[in-house]
Each structure stands twice: as structure tokens, then as C-alpha cells.
């Protein structure tokens, strides 16, 4: 399945972002391979890290291959069509970081990139640290869909990926002029001038690549 896409097939790029340990790699493994690993190997600095996985999907009767990119502390938005922003329902800090990640997305990928907010580890109900109404309020504030999922149990994982893939298909691919080449990583759709810039985020603070780290705040949006 990792060969070149059949001629004419769209291969849109979806990026998973969020704090370390929220379960980004596990969500990709669950969705693409339908398995789960309980041991934690941070994607940062591991030789075995995955760059992306391909998942064939049929949406509105049309076959497309979703490129699902894992990130490790730095997000390369270049060519991305959608972002899945993940936090951990058992970690209040990871929820607080959502605002920083949203600013980061807006700054480097543009405000129009398609987004979905995902609260992972809903199987750990007794350890839950972020109430559902707060999650829903945040998603409403940003006007993006929200899913509570579990990579471990498989709950809602498919639904969250299908949601963002369907919106990419309908709002990006269907909007292409008939003469346009298929969507792929090399042909980003959108007008952001910042595709080439890499963003580094650690511990909830965002900086541009290589510069010193600014303190993250929990205050709303801003510039
Ligand atoms: N209980 C439970 N544990 C989970 C779930 N998803 C992930 N985990 C665990 O959380 C830990 C971190 O998961 P990863 O997928 O490696 O997290 P990550 O976001 O990729 O982290 P980085 O690569 O460091 O950015 C691992 O020990 C997983 O087993 C879940 O849905 N439920
Ligand atoms: Mg990872």
C-alpha cells in the first residue's frame, strides 16, 4: 500500500499535533493498523519514528489515500490540508496547550486549514481531568468539531479521522477546478506564505525553529 498512488488519486495530508504523550502515535496506529501499544516511546528522537502512514479511504464514493503525519515536538505544516489537534483527557496541561497549538496553526498554516479537536484516553474515565463541557466550549469557541476518543479501546477513532477526511474531500478536493492535478503533499492547497517554516513546540510553548522558547499562556487567542 506504500507505493505511488494510482494515477489521478488524491493523497491529502493530515497532520497530528499536540503535547508529548497525548497519544498521537497510538491514534495513527489504531486508525491505520488497528493495533495499540501500551508502552510509551516518545516519537521525539526515536530512530523508529514514523513519518507518515497511508490509509485508503472511500468518501462520497471516491477513493482517496490519506497521508497521516505523526509529529514529534515540531510540526511541519508544509503541504498539509488538515490538522488533528490532540490532547489527553487525563492531562489538564495538555488541554491548556490546545490554545498555544491553535495559535501555532493559525500563524504557520493559516486560519483556513481544516481542523478537528480530539480528546484522547476516554477509557481512563476515573482519571479524567478535563470536564466534557469545557472541551465542548473550547471547540465551539474555535468553531471546530470535537471528538472524545480512545486509541486504546478504539472508541470514536474512526469517526474522528473520517470527519476530517470528509471535510478535506468536500472542501478542498471537490473545490478544485477539473483541470487541477490531484491533491498531494507536494502541491499544497491554500495561500499561506509560511509553508516552509518549521515550528518547534515543547512543553506548551511555541517558537519558530531554532529560536528561544516563549512562555505559553492560557489567555485567549490574540495575534
Ligand atoms: N489508557 C490509554 N492510554 C493511551 C491511549 N492512547 C495512548 N495511550 C498511552 O499514552 C502513551 C503515549 O502515547 P503516544 O501515542 O506515544 O503519545 P504521542 O502523542 O505520540 O507522544 P510524543 O511522540 O512524545 O509526541 C503511551 O504509553 C500509550 O500507550 C488511550 O487511548 N488510552
Ligand atoms: Mg508519538
Residues 76-133 have pLDDT tens digits of 788 899 999 999 999 999 999 999 999 999 999 988 899 999 999 999 999 999 999 9
Spacing, Cα 93 to ligand 2 middle (Å) = 17
- Ligand 1: which of 25, 41, 72 to mutate, judged by most atoms within 8 Å of the beta carbon? 25
State residue 45's pLDDT score: 65
> Going by CA atoms, what residue is nearest to atom 15 of ligand 1?
23
Across 139-160, b (16+ Cβ under 10 Å) vs e yields beebebbbbbbbbbeebbbeeb
Q: Ligand 2 centroid to 205 CA: how many Å?
A: 18
Residues with CB under 5 A from ligand 2 (ion): 24-25, 43
Closest CA to 129 of 87, 86, 91, 85: 91
* Separation of alpha carbons 90 and 151, rounded Å: 14
174 burial type by CB count under 10 A (0-12 exposed, 13-18 middle, 19+ buried): exposed
CA angle 195, 141, 31 (to 5 degrees): 60
User: Does the reported pTM lie above 0.85?
Assistant: no
Closest of 163, 137, 135 to residue 148, by C-alpha: 135
Contacts of 129-137 with C-beta under 8 Å, sequence gap 24+, read 129/89, 129/90, 129/91, 129/92, 129/95, 130/87, 130/89, 130/91, 130/92, 130/95, 134/95, 135/89, 135/95
Q: Which domains does the chain have, with CATH numbers?
A: 13-173 (3.40.50.300)
Which residue among 72, 119, 151, 203 has the greatest number of ligand 1 atoms within 8 angstroms of its CB, and so is best to mutate? 151
CA 20 / ligand 2 centre spacing (Å):
7
**Ligand 1 pocket residue status of 94, Cβ below 6 Å:** no
Tell me the per-residue pLDDT of 188-197, one tens digit each, with 9 for 90 and over: 444 333 333 3
Task: Report phi then psi at 172, rounded to 5.
Answer: -110, -60
Amino acid at each position: 500500500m506504500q507505493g505511488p498512488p494510482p494515477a489521478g488519486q488524491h493523497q491529502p495530508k493530515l497532520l497530528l499535533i499536540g503535547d508529548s504523550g497525548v497519544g498521537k502515535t497510538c491514534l495513527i496506529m489504531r486508525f491505520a493498523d488497528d493495533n495499540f501499544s501500551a508502552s510509551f516511546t516518545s516519537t521525539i528522537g526515536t530512530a523508529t519514528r514514523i513519518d507518515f502512514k497511508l490509509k485508503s479511504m472511500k468518501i462520497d464514493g471516491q477513493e482517496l489515500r490519506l497521508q497521516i503525519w505523526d509529529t514529534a515536538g515540531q510540526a511541519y505544516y508544509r503541504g498539509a490540508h488538515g490538522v488533528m489537534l490532540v490532547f489527553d483527557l487525563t492531562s489538564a496541561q495538555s488541554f491548556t496547550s490546545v490554545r498555544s497549538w491553535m495559535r501555532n496553526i493559525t500563524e504557520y498554516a493559516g486560519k483556513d486549514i481544516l481542523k478537528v479537536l480530539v480528546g484522547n484516553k476516554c477509557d481512563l474515565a476515573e482519571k479524567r481531568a478535563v470536564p466534557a463541557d469545557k472541551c465542548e466550549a473550547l471547540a465551539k469557541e474555535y468553531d471546530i468539531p470535537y471528538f472524545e476518543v480512545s486509541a486504546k479501546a478504539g472508541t470514536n477513532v474512526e469517526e474522528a479521522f473520517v470527519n476530517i477526511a470528509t471535510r478535506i474531500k468536500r472542501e478542498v478536493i471537490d473545490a478544485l477546478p477539473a483541470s487541477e492535478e490531484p491533491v498531494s503533499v507536494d502541491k499544497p492547497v491554500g495561500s499561506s506564505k509560511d509553508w516552509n517554516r518549521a515550528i518547534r513546540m515543547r512543553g506548551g510553548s511555541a517558537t519558530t525553529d531554532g529560536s528561544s522558547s516563549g512562555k505559553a499562556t492560557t489567555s485567549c487567542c490574540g495575534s
